[in-house]
Structure 1
C-alpha cells in the first residue's frame, strides 16, 4: 500500500504492517476524543515515525496514487479531526 504523509512524500508499506499502524490510529482517536493534546501529538508522531520506519520511500518523481493520506507532523488536532472517518485515519 502507498501511504502519503502530507508535505513529506510517499512510502510503500506491506499490508502486514497495518496491524501496528491501526493500534496507533486507535490510540490517536481516543486521545482526540478526550481532547488530550499532548497525547495526540505524541501518538501522531509515533504513527508517522512508524510509516517512515516500516516503509520504503518512493522517489519524489514517482506518480503512484496514495491509498492512504496522513496529516503532516505539525497538523493541529482540528485539522486531523477533519481528515477522520469513523475508523480513524486508517480504515479497517
Structure 2
C-alpha cells in the first residue's frame, strides 16, 4: 500500500503493518471527534512516526496512487476535522 504524508511524500508500506496503523488511526479519529488537542498531537506524531519507521520512502519524483493520505505533522486539529468532514468521515 502507498501512504502519502501531506507535505512530505509517499512511502510503500507492507499490508501486514496496517493493523498497527489502524489502531493509531482510530485513536486519532476519536481524539479529533472529541476535540482533544493534546491527544491529537500525540497520536498524529505516533502515527506519522510509525509510517516513516515501517515504510520505504518512494523517490521524490514518483507519484503513485495513494491508498491512505495522512495530514502533515503541523496540521491542526481543526484542519483535520475539516478534511474528515469534507470526506464524509465526520458529520458536518
TM range (shorter): 0.7 to 0.9
Give the drift of 1:73. 0.5
Q: Say yes or no: does 1:19 pair with 2:19.
A: yes
2:89 to 74, 86, 91: 86
Give the drift of 1:4. 0.5
Supply the distance in 1 between the matched residues of 2:40 and 2:63 (Cα, whole angstroms): 31
Normalising by structure 2, we get a TM-score of 0.87
Q: Which runs of 5+ in 2 are unaligned?
A: none
TM-superposition CA deviations, 1:7-64 (whole Å, max 9, x none) = 0010000111110011001111121122110110000010011100000000001121
Runs of 4+ in 1 over 6 A off after TM superposition: none
List aligned pairs for 1:65-80, cutoff 5 A: 65-80=65-80
Q: Which runs of 5+ in 1 are unaligned?
A: 88-92
Q: How many residues matched?
A: 87
Give RMSD over aligned pairs. Answer: 1.4
